Chains A and B, each alone.
Chain A
Amino acid sequence: MKSFDYLRPDTLDEALAALSDPDAAALGGGTNLLDLMKLGVAGPSKIVDLTRLPGLDRIETLPDGTVRIGALVRNAALPRDPGFAAAFPMVAEALLSGASGQLRNAATVGGNLMQATRCAYFQDPFAACNRRAPGTGCDAKDGANRNHAILGWSPACIATHPSDFCVPLAALGAIVEIAGPDGLRELPLAEFHLLPGEEAHLTTQLAPGEIVLALRLPPGAADFAGHARYLKLRERNSYAFAIVSAAAALRLEDGVIREARLALGGVAARPWRATAAETLLAGARPAPETFAAAAEAALAEAAPSGANGFKIALAGRILARALAAAAAGTPARMPALPGSVLDDSDTEAAHA
């Protein structure tokens, strides 16, 4: 493969300095970047391994109740943290529904946010792909696109962001902390990933030379802990990306939904926060019809981008299902098959 320099900076400043080279790439667990390098899709001349940067592998609670997750926390470590899993059960469930144990051990929070689409044509250096090689076209449009986007796509690109983790994060209003040559800034996660529009190659708001430093879950995000689920539809019952997925969290008072947080996964180039549906649910009583109406609202704008119209119905159904599951209460224990609609564990609620 192409030769490259490997750097392992010990400080953030060194890392940022190294990343000022446009040919440099940040390395987390490498579970995505190294694959793309082997495929010839990525070819950095410099790899900047972030994993030794101090302090970024911590989960901390700030004085105001904000929970801050360092970018280097491993995907396996987060759901294993009892405090975190109790406060944000659907985030833990989403993480555990993704990839495999081995991959989660290696993958980092920052890498998960930044992971590339799984579009086969993006991964094939010989294919036309606006996202990988701007202006070349989009082979997915008339190709294998069964699992492509149904929301927010453009003729330039119909790819989805494949992360499970990001879906409940978007729902809970997570904030992304970014460090770059010009200092620190932050953005809501739900806006962090870009929809394709004309320019499919711009996939996130991260400017060249910037890195993801941490994620923050704002105070109040834990208020949904008692009624939160992440459900993920897939043909293989584990170790598969979502066809569609949904995160649903409710704050219930006296049998009434005070506040709802909803996001869909596998449907767009970003985790899809469903604000219209959230508004519709506020003040309603949990009921199948209400959930169906919310699902309809969430997918009002949905359109097939190829042979994937079936995903629209499924996205609506999984959202309604996730809402019903959330209303029933977060399970006392993590389901044996996290995120699965076919889980067999007993569903006794935690009554958190």
Chain B
Amino acid sequence: MPDDFAPASHVRLGSNSGQPQTRLDGLAKITGQATYAADNAPEGMLWAVYAGAPAGRGRVASLDTGAALAHPGVVHVITPQNRAELQQDPDARAHVFAWKIDILQSETIRYAGAPVALVLAETLEAATEGARLLAPEVEPLPVRIGFDDGEPFEAATVGIGANPATSVGDLEAGFAAAERITEVEIETPPQYHNAMEPHAIVAQWQDGRLVIDTPNQAIVMSRPLFAEYFGIAPEDVHIRSPYLGGGFGSKAILNGPQILACLAARETGRPVKLVLSRAQMYGPVGHRGATRQTLRLGTDAEGRLTALAHHSVSATSSFDDFLEPAANASLNTYASPAISASHSGSRWDIGTPGPMRAPGEATGSAALECAMDEAAEAAGLDPLEFRLRNYAETDPATGRAFSSKALRECYRLGAERFGWAGRPMAPGQMRDAKGRLLGWGMGTSLFPAPMSQALARATLRADGSALVETAAADMGQGAWTALAQIAADGLGLDLAQVEFRSGDSELPDGGVAGGSGHTATAGSALFSAGQDAVAQLVRLAVEDPASPLHGAGNQAVRAQGGRLMLEGDPSRSESYAAVLARAGLETLAGNGRGARSPEAAGAHAMFSHGAVFAEVAVDPDLFQIRVTRLVGAFAAGRIINPRLAESQLFGGMVWGLGFALQEEAVHDRRSGRLVNGDLAGYHVPVNADLASIEALTVPEEDPFVNALGVKGVGELGITGTVGAIANAVWHATGRRARRFPVMIEDLL
């Protein structure tokens, strides 16, 4: 396929984009018609349940497989002793998106809850009881959890292949020139994705092909990862992932239980279903690693940054290296002549962390925004004024121009909407009618606008409607709706005339639903596929003497509402169906690709921005906190669907609230087991936590990010919000956050 399907220059989208279309799959979901992976139950299926390691470190000395096998309904037990050979080493990291996973490769226990054996049975109940009966006996070793017990190490990479240390300018000179230096240390805890839908897989082998129902954020990309384990071709893996009940990064990465289910299906010759329990979600499927961050901010007499040093000690597992790239949040946010972002690691006996909604950006922004607030206080400046003085006109890390950056407008709009003016500088000055402490805080939101690569196909049909196809992933965020809107625009059709097919690896690669780049990437592919189909249609028309458009130049023909028409003379027009009919075509297919060209990527710094303002009410004696107002103003390029974008931004902001005040996975430091590994113990926000929320978007034309001008809104809202809330808590109480979540005892 030639490369030039991707539209080269900024395009004019049609009338579908920009509409607040409700989710096209909404009705199916709320009526239970939508089938999630675990809803599948093929004929002859076995249930798989794995037993998890009861210790955080050590060795499984024995398993009572006899007891498990004796339990009625149990068919088979797979342990490291009898586990069949796999074609891939689970500890190999063969791919940049592949992490070391646990597939019963040994008796060594690397973290509590890691699979130690898999039980297959005729019913879920029998498999569950079988797994319990295995009662592993363990030779434990001392567990290392927490920054004080973790093993320090120098990291080779952070995040997904990023540099652990980056610096620009002369840091020493910057600090030497500073009038003031603000130093802040902040810890963030381990956090878990907690998607509503637990990880699940139904695996079956059909004529040598592996057919999998599993929620997946990277459908086509995952095929080779599965295939390698079984020595089959990627094309022989068929992944179906029509609906995801949330992914947040955890469903983009291959995990051990998935391979175990496929293996079990091969060994037993029967379809196998494995659904993680809620408790099992805290272990083998990733999480956001803890960080201990230190920031030093040098400022001059006018409150301008002279140097900014941000270091993160990021926790990871004892055996793999995903490190939360927290410090990198300081590279692109504020102007400073000298910036350093560096990381080191701390090895804990926990499951390996992975990308979780705004990986690095969320943790880093939380700490940076708190530090900026302290520096503003030290400089005697209003926090907004302080940020404006340090506004980055160009990307601080690279010196490049921003492809677009309407952050100033976000600050202005957000502050105005919130009513920021008149905020007292000192903390503890404001009370509500009931005598509660009120505090106002703010933070800057920033998230990259990356693109991955995607392909799409658009097929015009004889009746003038179209089928568009790409293996995109709808995690519940509404991707399919926004993508269908873009696809319809690419085709010059109304949304109702477009059939959208997705979520299946047999379709053209829709790329990864990650990095907030899915709409931009898959959308670009879909748009260009539509344009390709339309271009072919136009060629047919203008070359056909029977067409009213005969002889018109390609450029002079416009496609809209299922008709081709001469620009400037709508009387010369005909329907798509008419062109196809005359040409004797049942269908006409166009192909498209979405990707950013390296030149475009190298020329500009590309980010979404925003400003979040928070008000909290705090009880003056008991220190219970409630966020009474959150106002965010965001600039994220072109908004394809304002309703869905708003709900994504809300979701991010509410996530930020959870980060600031609630979310924390607590491990027992002796056993390594989670003490709050369920949704009763691991708190995420509820409606009562937030009295009012607004997410405004600032119009932003970006001719560089991609032809559609689309950035992303999926992760942006978390950044900025965490700091805004922590800063508001300070403004109410005079207490600075030193760790997240902020707890009542921290304020006493």
A and B co-occur in one complex: yes
Q: Does A313 contact B (CB under 8 A)?
A: yes
With A127-B671, A144-B675 known as contacts, the answer to whether A237 contacts B624 (CB < 8 A) is: yes
The answer to whether B675 touches A317 (Cβ under 8 A) is no
The one of B128, B436, B670 in contact with A1, judged by C-beta atoms closer than 8 angstroms, is B128
The answer to whether A342 touches B619 (Cβ under 8 A) is yes
Contacts of A6 in B (CB 8 A): none
CA distance A315 to B744 in the complex (A): 13
CA distance A146 to B676 in the complex (A): 12
The one of B671, B676, B683 in contact with A235, judged by C-beta atoms closer than 8 angstroms, is B683
Contacts of A146 in B (CB 8 A): 745
With A121-B675, A342-B436 known as contacts, the answer to whether A143 contacts B668 (CB < 8 A) is: yes
Stretch of B261-269, B522-530, B687-695 at the chain-chain interface: B687-695
Q: Does B673 contact A (CB under 8 A)?
A: yes
- Dominant secondary structure of chain B at its interface with chain A: loop
The one of A127, A239, A310, A321 in contact with B745, judged by C-beta atoms closer than 8 angstroms, is A310
Q: Does B54 contact A (CB under 8 A)?
A: yes
The one of B436, B662, B673 in contact with A126, judged by C-beta atoms closer than 8 angstroms, is B673
B329 to chain A, nearest CB (A): 26
Contacts of B129 in A (CB 8 A): 1-3
The answer to whether B132 touches A238 (Cβ under 8 A) is no
What 0/1 readout, one digit per residue, does chain B (661-690) give for beta carbons within 8 Å of chain A? 110001011110101100011010111110
Q: Does B37 contact A (CB under 8 A)?
A: no
CA distance A268 to B625 in the complex (A): 25
Tell me the A37-62 residues at the B interface (CB within 8 Å). 38-40
Closest-by-CB residue of A relative to B681 is A120
Q: Does B76 contact A (CB under 8 A)?
A: no
The one of B671, B673, B683, B688 in contact with A337, judged by C-beta atoms closer than 8 angstroms, is B688
CA distance A164 to B686 in the complex (A): 19
B687 to chain A, nearest CB (A): 7
The answer to whether A40 touches B675 (Cβ under 8 A) is no
Tell me the A298-327 residues at the B interface (CB within 8 Å). 310, 313-314, 317-318, 321
The answer to whether B624 touches A233 (Cβ under 8 A) is yes
Contacts of A340 in B (CB 8 A): 624, 688
Contacts of B743 in A (CB 8 A): 235
CA distance A237 to B625 in the complex (A): 8
Q: Does A13 contact B (CB under 8 A)?
A: no
The one of B621, B683, B687, B741 in contact with A317, judged by C-beta atoms closer than 8 angstroms, is B621
Contacts of A313 in B (CB 8 A): 748
Number of interface residues of B (CB under 8 A): 40
Q: Does B617 contact A (CB under 8 A)?
A: yes
With A3-B129, A236-B685, A341-B619 known as contacts, the answer to whether A314 contacts B744 (CB < 8 A) is: yes
The answer to whether B744 touches A238 (Cβ under 8 A) is no
B662 to chain A, nearest CB (A): 6
Contacts of A91 in B (CB 8 A): none
Contacts of A237 in B (CB 8 A): 624, 626, 686, 688-689
Q: Does B385 contact A (CB under 8 A)?
A: no
Contacts of A234 in B (CB 8 A): 624
CA distance A292 to B625 in the complex (A): 23
With A321-B621, A341-B622 known as contacts, the answer to whether A238 contacts B671 (CB < 8 A) is: no
The answer to whether B128 touches A236 (Cβ under 8 A) is no
The answer to whether B671 touches A236 (Cβ under 8 A) is no
A239 to chain B, nearest CB (A): 5
A213 to chain B, nearest CB (A): 29
What 0/1 readout, one digit per residue, does chain A (313-352) give for beta carbons within 8 Å of chain B? 1100110010000000000000001001110100000000
The one of B676, B686, B691 in contact with A238, judged by C-beta atoms closer than 8 angstroms, is B686
Chain A contact patch, size range: 35 or more
Contacts of B567 in A (CB 8 A): none
Contacts of B681 in A (CB 8 A): 118, 120
With A139-B668, A340-B624 known as contacts, the answer to whether A235 contacts B744 (CB < 8 A) is: yes
Closest-by-CB residue of A relative to B626 is A342
Q: Does B586 contact A (CB under 8 A)?
A: no
CA distance A317 to B621 in the complex (A): 7
B402 to chain A, nearest CB (A): 38
Contacts of A126 in B (CB 8 A): 54, 671, 673
Q: Does B172 contact A (CB under 8 A)?
A: no
Q: Does B125 contact A (CB under 8 A)?
A: yes
A312 to chain B, nearest CB (A): 11
Q: Does A124 contact B (CB under 8 A)?
A: yes
The answer to whether A310 touches B621 (Cβ under 8 A) is no
The one of A143, A233, A341, A342 in contact with B675, judged by C-beta atoms closer than 8 angstroms, is A143
The answer to whether A240 touches B128 (Cβ under 8 A) is no
B194 to chain A, nearest CB (A): 14
CA distance A337 to B132 in the complex (A): 41
Tell me the B531-547 residues at the A interface (CB within 8 Å). none
Q: Does A243 contact B (CB under 8 A)?
A: yes
The answer to whether B744 touches A120 (Cβ under 8 A) is no
Closest-by-CB residue of B relative to A126 is B54
Closest-by-CB residue of B relative to A143 is B668
Contacts of A236 in B (CB 8 A): 662, 683, 685-686, 688-689
The answer to whether B125 touches A1 (Cβ under 8 A) is yes
CA distance A154 to B98 in the complex (A): 49
The answer to whether A344 touches B668 (Cβ under 8 A) is no
Contacts of B125 in A (CB 8 A): 1, 3
CA distance A146 to B625 in the complex (A): 18
The answer to whether A238 touches B688 (Cβ under 8 A) is yes
A151 to chain B, nearest CB (A): 18
A330 to chain B, nearest CB (A): 17
CA distance A238 to B743 in the complex (A): 16
Closest-by-CB residue of B relative to A239 is B686
CA distance A313 to B666 in the complex (A): 24
B277 to chain A, nearest CB (A): 8
Tell me the B611-625 residues at the A interface (CB within 8 Å). 617, 619, 621-622, 624-625
What 0/1 readout, one digit per residue, does chain A (211-247) give for beta carbons within 8 Å of chain B? 0000000000000000000000111111110010000
The one of A3, A144, A344 in contact with B666, judged by C-beta atoms closer than 8 angstroms, is A144
CA distance A85 to B85 in the complex (A): 65
A321 to chain B, nearest CB (A): 7
A79 to chain B, nearest CB (A): 17
The one of A3, A144, A235, A337 in contact with B661, judged by C-beta atoms closer than 8 angstroms, is A235
CA distance A276 to B675 in the complex (A): 36
The one of A3, A142, A310 in contact with B744, judged by C-beta atoms closer than 8 angstroms, is A310
What 0/1 readout, one digit per residue, does chain B (614-655) give for beta carbons within 8 Å of chain A? 000101011011100000000000000000000000000000
Contacts of B687 in A (CB 8 A): 238
Closest-by-CB residue of B relative to A347 is B434
Closest-by-CB residue of A relative to B667 is A144
The answer to whether A40 touches B132 (Cβ under 8 A) is yes
A129 to chain B, nearest CB (A): 12
Closest-by-CB residue of A relative to B277 is A38
The answer to whether B668 touches A144 (Cβ under 8 A) is yes
Contacts of B683 in A (CB 8 A): 235-236, 240
Tell me the A102-151 residues at the B interface (CB within 8 Å). 118, 120-121, 124, 126-127, 139, 142-144, 146
Contacts of B434 in A (CB 8 A): 344
CA distance A313 to B279 in the complex (A): 34
B584 to chain A, nearest CB (A): 60
Residue positions of A touching B, CB distance < 8 A: 1-3, 38-40, 118, 120-121, 124, 126-127, 139, 142-144, 146, 233-240, 243, 310, 313-314, 317-318, 321, 337, 340-342, 344
3 residue pairs, one from A and one from B, having the closest CB atoms: A120-B675, A238-B688, A237-B688
Given contacts A235-B624, A237-B624, 16 further A-B contacts (CB under 8 A): A1-B132, A121-B668, A121-B675, A126-B54, A139-B668, A143-B668, A144-B666, A146-B745, A233-B624, A235-B625, A236-B688, A238-B689, A317-B621, A321-B622, A340-B624, A344-B434
Residue positions of B touching A, CB distance < 8 A: 54, 125, 128-129, 132, 277, 279, 434, 436, 617, 619, 621-622, 624-626, 661-662, 666, 668-671, 673, 675-676, 680-681, 683, 685-689, 691, 741, 743-745, 748
Q: List 17 A-B contacts (CB under 8 A).
A: A1-B125, A2-B132, A3-B125, A120-B676, A126-B671, A126-B673, A139-B671, A235-B625, A236-B683, A236-B689, A237-B624, A237-B686, A310-B744, A314-B744, A317-B622, A340-B624, A342-B619
